[in-house]
């Protein structure tokens, strides 16, 4: 399935620290009995009759076997005898020595250690690190690297492969009544898809603004095994190319479309928070800025249902981002940025933008609005939690540091070829930060073409102006007008979209200066984190998941693991249960535990009873969420092995 993400500043630092973290002595789990050594992530177990499928180690109901435990192990109680084996009965005998007996009703599957390798398809934002002998967080690690590009002119969302530069799928989004093909970009009674974000599992959410109609959010699965076989034909029916666009409600990778807010709310902001043990992929937060009034809602990622609405949110929500500490920052252009606590759904503070002429600012020619505060449009954040806003009308950018409560300004007029107050100079709408913590913004020159300006986020000057020498300006060498979204892929390439017609995607390699223009998009009106790079940088988590098929009428046993969790890091374990493999992606998460708080093993049956779960289902998915730390130093948890047990025939 997936994984999520990570990073902070220098990835090289992360890996060097991990490589030097030491190699603790493997636990007894690394020599466990009844392990499975297979080469795929979905494991099929006993069908309930005591036989083996070949994928899971099973035992018949013969007399228990005594395990050769080697040297005698003294004990005071049964806990002293815990050998971290999934299928042995560990007992402290009256003589004060440990006894180990094979549990013949038990089935066990182990991944990592002496078991089968961690499956690639289960990794999202994590990767196997040989020096650490386990999985660690790696922000840029994943087999797939996608861009999610809204085609506002036709109410679709495109999935691009960033590695090959090809569009590989296209999906209808929003409501059928608001499709409005050939109309862009602020048309009444039309979906007008715009802001798009990516969650911790790599799935995409797009806010369909809905002018003078119902606004919606549509969620699309990135991985085919998370799509839902709704028609029960045993396969996933989904788009396979830009020419293969399925009718509304017939693409099985389009997971849901949810109505959010009242008619004409106009959904103009969306972001994904850090999530929790029950929702490791994160919750979506959607904001409105329309004539129906402001609003800010938290959505259930499984169903799209509104969980809560933020009270007293009294201003336009035009863009949003979540910082490393988990705070949601909403942006109201030319007015303020607002901090929201994502746990309590309460507003913490409104921070007004600085005056127009402050910090080296100025009024630009042809000001249509002439606000007293600075012009602002797009929003992003860096690895240290500073907020960055793209200027609008004037070629500049604002930065805000919540720690020091100070602002800075980046003057980009030189990049735009500023020629005096009579000439309007402006940026593209988008702004982003790449994996090296560098801020990028497209700047429109006087001739209408676009250059790209960037600077290290640490060039921030409290209550001052970022020096011009800190800003690098790159000309892609290709005519490019009306820039909107800008984002970085996992390889560090910069992508820029346009709302113009035609609407090519510009791909720029900062290392070589090479660029190319790719056709296919249809008027892209967005300026959010459409590659997921910013969330990977600032949230920094990753996941590993694995699917299991057990047996009818069986019981779930224990979850064992071998890990290392440096100070401040954690591994969280959750399970999903379903009666069919296809239903696993939409099953609710049930928290099992967290390392280092909890000790291996965890009794899964006890956790399910405590959660009131009665319909166990024979299919299970275990998801491990990796939570690293970046302050005061970079560190990642390490998962070395994972063992899952169950018992058939009602024994357990």
Residue 633 belongs to some domain of the structure? yes
- Regarding whether 112 and 182 lie in a shared domain, the answer is no
Which string of b and e fits 356-370 if b means at least 16 CB within 10 Å? beebebeebeeeeee
Does residue 623 belong to any structural domain of this protein? Answer: yes
**Predicted pLDDT of residue 361:** 78
Residue 568 lies in a domain: yes
Note whether 396 and 363 are within 8 A (CB): no
Task: Give residue 124's pLDDT.
Answer: 86
- The pLDDT value given to residue 14: 37
Asked if 308 and 166 sit in the same domain, the reply is: yes
CB 504 within 8 A of CB 521: yes
**What is the pLDDT, as a whole number, of residue 531?**
95
DSSP 188-211: TTB--EEEEEE-TTS-EEEEE--B
CA dist., res. 435 & res. 415, Å (int): 23
The domain boundary residue, chosen from 352, 369, 386: 352
Phi-psi region of 326 (alpha: psi -120 to 50; beta: other; left: phi over 0): left
Token digits of residue 414 = 């030189």
Residue 392 domain flag: no
| Domain end point (choices 335, 352, 369) | 352
Same domain? For 189 and 320 the reply is yes
The sign one gets for the Cα dihedral 247, 195, 453, 147 is negative
Q: Are 261 and 215 in contact (CB under 8 A)?
A: yes
How many folded domains does the chain comprise? Answer: 2
Identify whether residues 52 and 153 lie together within a single domain: no
Longest Cα–Cα distance in the chain: 95
Q: What radius of gyration do the chain's Cα atoms show?
A: 26
**Co-location of 172 and 123 in the same domain:** no
Q: What is the pLDDT of residue 591?
A: 94
Nearest to 257 by CA among 296, 291, 305, 210: 305
Q: Is residue 1 part of a domain?
A: no
Percent of the chain that is helix, strand, coil (3-state, to 5): 10, 40, 50
**Based on the domain organization, do 227 and 114 belong to the same domain?**
no
Residue holding tokens 């007004």?
352
Whether 124 and 170 map to the same domain: the answer is: no
Domain that holds residue 337: 146-231+240-352
| pLDDT of amino acid 193 | 97
pTM above 0.75, yes or no: yes
Taking CA atoms, 502 is separated from 20, 151, 498, 586, in Å, by 51, 12, 8, 38
Nearest to 526 by CA among 499, 563, 559: 499
Cα torsion 100, 104, 106, 110: sign:
positive
162 and 306 in one domain? yes
Cβ atoms 45, 549 nearer than 8 A: yes
Give the CATH number, domain containing residue 162. 2.130.10.10
Strand ranges of the sheet holding 336-341, from the earlier edge strand across to the other edge? 319-322, 328-332, 336-341, 346-352
**Rounded to whole angstroms, how far apart are CA atoms 562 and 26?**
8
458 belongs to a structural domain: no
Of 320, 352, 384, the last residue of a domain is 352
- Establish if 119 belongs to a structural domain: yes
The answer to whether residue 493 is domain-embedded is no
Both 279 and 305 in one domain: the answer is yes
329 within 8 A of 387, measured Cβ to Cβ: yes
Residues 270, 162: one domain?
Answer: yes
21 and 164 belong to one structural domain? no
Instruction: With a cut of 50, list the residues of the chain below it in pLDDT.
Output: 1-66, 68-69, 632, 650-652
In SS3 terms, 328-363 reads as EEEEECCCEEEEEECCCCEEEEEEECCECCHHHCCC
Q: In terms of domains, do 52 and 173 share one?
A: no
Each residue's pLDDT tens digit, 9-27: 333 333 333 333 333 333 3
Q: What is the pLDDT of residue 299?
A: 98
Domain CATH for 46: 2.60.120
- In this prediction, residue 10 carries a pLDDT of 33
């Amino acid at each position: 399935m997936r994984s999520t993400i990570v990073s902070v500043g220098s990835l090289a630092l992360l890996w060097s620290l991990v490589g030097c973290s030491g190699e603790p002595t493997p636990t007894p789990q690394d020599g466990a009995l009844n392990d499975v050594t297979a080469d795929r992530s979905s494991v099929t177990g006993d069908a309930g009759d005591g036989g083996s499928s070949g994928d899971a180690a099973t035992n018949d109901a013969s007399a228990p076997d005594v395990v050769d435990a080697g040297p005698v192990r003294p004990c005071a109680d049964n806990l002293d005898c815990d050998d971290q084996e999934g299928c042995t009965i560990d007992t402290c005998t009256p003589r004060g020595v440990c006894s180990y007996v094979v549990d013949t009703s038990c089935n066990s599957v182990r991944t990592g250690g002496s078991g089968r390798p961690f499956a690639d398809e289960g990794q999202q934002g994590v990767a196997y690190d040989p020096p650490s002998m386990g999985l660690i967080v790696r922000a840029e690690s994943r087999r797939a690297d996608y861009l999610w590009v809204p085609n506002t002119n036709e109410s679709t969302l495109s999935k691009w492969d960033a590695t090959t530069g090809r569009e590989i799928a296209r999906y209808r989004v929003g409501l059928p009544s608001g499709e409005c093909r050939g109309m862009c970009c602020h048309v009444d009674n039309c979906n007008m898809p715009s802001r798009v974000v990516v969650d911790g599992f790599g799935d995409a959410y797009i806010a369909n603004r809905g002018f003078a109609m119902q606004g919606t959010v549509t969620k699309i699965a990135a991985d085919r095994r998370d799509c839902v076989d709704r028609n029960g034909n045993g396969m996933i029916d989904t788009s396979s190319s830009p020419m293969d666009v399925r009718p509304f409600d017939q693409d099985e990778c389009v997971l849901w479309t949810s109505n959010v807010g009242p008619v004409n709310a106009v959904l103009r902001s969306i972001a994904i928070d850090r999530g929790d043990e029950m929702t490791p992929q994160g919750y979506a937060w959607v904001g409105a800025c329309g004539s129906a009034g402001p609003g800010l809602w938290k959505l259930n990622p499984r169903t799209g249902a509104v969980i809560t609405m933020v009270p007293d949110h009294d201003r336009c929500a035009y863009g949003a981002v979540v910082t490393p500490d988990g705070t949601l920052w909403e942006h109201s252009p030319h007015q303020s940025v607002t901090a929201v606590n994502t746990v309590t759904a309460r507003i913490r503070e409104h921070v007004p933008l600085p005056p127009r002429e402050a910090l080296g600012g100025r009024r630009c020619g042809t000001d249509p609005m002439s606000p007293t505060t600075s012009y602002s449009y797009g929003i992003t954040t860096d690895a240290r939690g500073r907020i960055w806003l793209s200027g609008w009308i004037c070629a500049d950018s604002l930065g805000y540091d919540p720690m020091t409560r100070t602002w800075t300004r980046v003057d980009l007029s030189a990049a735009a070829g500023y020629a005096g107050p009579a000439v309007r100079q402006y940026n593209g709408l988008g702004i982003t930060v790449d994996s090296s913590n560098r801020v990028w913004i497209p700047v429109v020159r006087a001739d209408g073409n676009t250059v790209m300006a960037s600077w290290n986020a640490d060039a921030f000057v409290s209550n001052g102006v970022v020096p011009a020498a800190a800003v690098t300006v790159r000309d892609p060498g290709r005519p490019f007008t009306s820039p909107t979204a800008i984002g970085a892929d996992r390889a560090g390439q910069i992508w820029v979209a346009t709302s113009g017609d035609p609407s090519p995607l510009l791909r720029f390699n900062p290392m070589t200066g090479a660029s190319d223009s790719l056709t296919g998009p249809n008027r892209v009106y967005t300026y959010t984190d459409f590659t997921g790079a910013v969330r990977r940088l600032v949230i920094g988590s990753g996941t590993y998941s694995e699917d299991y098929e057990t047996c009818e009428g069986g019981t779930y046993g224990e979850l064992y693991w071998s890990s290392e969790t440096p100070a401040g890091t954690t591994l969280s374990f959750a399970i999903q249960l379903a009666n069919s493999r296809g239903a696993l992606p939409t099953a609710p998460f049930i928290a099992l535990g967290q390392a280092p708080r909890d000790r291996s093993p965890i009794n899964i049956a006890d956790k399910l009873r405590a959660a009131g779960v009665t319909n166990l289902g024979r299919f299970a998915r275990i998801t491990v969420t990796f939570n690293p730390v970046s302050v005061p130093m970079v560190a990642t948890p390490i998962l070395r092995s994972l063992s899952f047990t169950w018992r058939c025939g009602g024994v357990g």
